[in-house]
């Protein structure tokens, strides 16, 4: 682990000069976070445990109950909750449709805790989500691709992936398939699954949510999509929309079989 992060740090340094030219640069990396990288610690894991783990245990809402009060048995978090991250987006009978893990957390908050759910943009929802992904580390991604509803979503997700939009008339496909293997503004364009046309991909879904060094915070997979939409000159699709869930299911299905290494650490 340690070596891997040090190698990543080296990459980050190599990239940093290129970064200044990018509109993408967010907040500068704080001295505290630099110290963490230097020590080989992923700040995403610290966020998962310290923020997400604490929220999971914290009594909330008018009933003053915690996630843990329902989902812990004999001190251990229920297996299905601790591994849920590997199976979402999936069909949810409360929602009557396919939803992602972020949205399942919201349903528990409104249905069982009688509280206003944390918004999908909030640090709190991301923290709980990251915590659940962290617990599922090592579990193989296995999203449903066979039920009729999953098939419909996958088809729609692939459609969104290939749809050219925005001022630059770009689609995800243009960068992540057609231009895969090429370099854009100092960054390799990579396929998002295991491989595309013989070009090795990154199995992207196995390391999101990830701590982004250029943003100095953890982002979910859908938030990463929004980053690409913004950079590609497209209007951002709303988190949790059918389009985004379908895209998430599609991109995640490309990593089916890969072990979760969440949270990741990315540029």
**Least Å distance between CB 173 and ligand HEC?**
8
Residue tagged 């999936």 (tokens)? 90
DSSP state of 85: G
For ligand HEC, the closer of residues 36 and 101 by Cβ is 101
**Least Å distance between CB 141 and ligand HEC?**
13
Q: Can you tell me the distance from the alpha carbon of 255 to that of 41, in angstroms, rounded to the nearest whole number?
A: 25
For ligand HEC, the closer of residues 31 and 197 by Cβ is 197
**Least Å distance between CB 64 and ligand HEC?**
10
**Least Å distance between CB 247 and ligand HEC?**
5
For ligand HEC, the closer of residues 31 and 182 by Cβ is 182
For ligand HEC, the closer of residues 35 and 54 by Cβ is 54
**Pair 89, 98: CB distance under 8 Å:** yes
Where would I find the H helices in the chain?
A: 2-19, 31-38, 43-47, 54-57, 67-71, 79-82, 101-107, 123-135, 148-162, 172-173, 221-231, 242-253
**Least Å distance between CB 236 and ligand HEC?**
9
Distance of CA 4 to the CA centre of its chain: 20
- Residue 13 has a CB neighbour count (10 Å cut-off) of 10
**Least Å distance between CB 108 and ligand HEC?**
3
For ligand HEC, the closer of residues 36 and 105 by Cβ is 105
Structure tokens at 202: 């990154």
Structure tokens at 235: 């209007």
**Pair 209, 196: CB distance under 8 Å:** no
Decide the pairing of beta strands 210-212 and 217-219: antiparallel
For ligand HEC, the closer of residues 73 and 93 by Cβ is 93
For ligand HEC, the closer of residues 150 and 170 by Cβ is 170
Rounded alpha-carbon distances, angstroms, from residue 93 to 124, 197, 241: 24, 37, 17
Residues at the interface with ligand HEC (CB under 6 A): 65, 67, 69-71, 80-81, 84, 93, 104-105, 108-109, 112-113, 128, 132, 170, 172, 174-176, 184, 187-190, 192, 202, 204, 207, 224-225, 228-229, 231-232, 247, 251, 266-267
**Least Å distance between CB 24 and ligand HEC?**
9
Q: Can you tell me the distance from the alpha carbon of 228 to that of 247, in angstroms, rounded to the nearest whole number?
A: 13
Residue from 263, 252, 267 nearest 213 by CA:
267
For ligand HEC, the closer of residues 19 and 65 by Cβ is 65
DSSP state of 263: S
**Least Å distance between CB 112 and ligand HEC?**
4
């Amino acid at each position: 682990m340690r070596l891997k992060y040090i190698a990543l740090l080296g990459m980050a340094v190599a990239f940093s000069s290129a970064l200044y030219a990018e509109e993408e640069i967010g907040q500068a990396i704080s001295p505290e976070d630099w110290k963490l990288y230097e020590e080989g610690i992923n700040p995403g894991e610290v966020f998962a445990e310290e923020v997400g783990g604490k929220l999971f245990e914290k009594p909330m809402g008018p009933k003053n109950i915690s996630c843990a009060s329902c989902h812990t048995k004999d001190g251990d978090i229920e297996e299905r909750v601790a591994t849920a991250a590997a199976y979402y987006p999936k069909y949810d009978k409360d929602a009557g449709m396919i939803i992602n893990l972020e949205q399942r957390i919201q349903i528990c908050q409104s249905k069982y805790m009688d509280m206003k759910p944390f918004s999908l943009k909030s640090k709190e929802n991301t923290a709980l989500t990251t915590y659940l992904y962290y617990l599922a580390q090592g579990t193989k991604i296995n999203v449903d691709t066979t039920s009729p509803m999953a098939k419909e979503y996958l088809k729609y997700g692939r459609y969104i992936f290939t749809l050219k939009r925005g001022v630059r008339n770009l689609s995800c496909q243009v960068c992540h398939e057609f231009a895969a293997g090429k370099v854009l503004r100092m960054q390799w364009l990579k396929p998002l699954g295991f491989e595309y046309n013989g070009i090795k991909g990154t199995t992207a879904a196995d390391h999101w949510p990830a701590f982004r060094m250029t943003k100095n915070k953890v982002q979910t997979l859908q938030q990463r999509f929004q980053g690409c939409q913004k950079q590609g000159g497209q209007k951002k699709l709303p988190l949790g929309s059918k389009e985004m869930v379908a895209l998430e299911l599609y991109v995640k299905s490309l990593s089916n079989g890969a072990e979760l290494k969440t949270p990741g650490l990315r540029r």
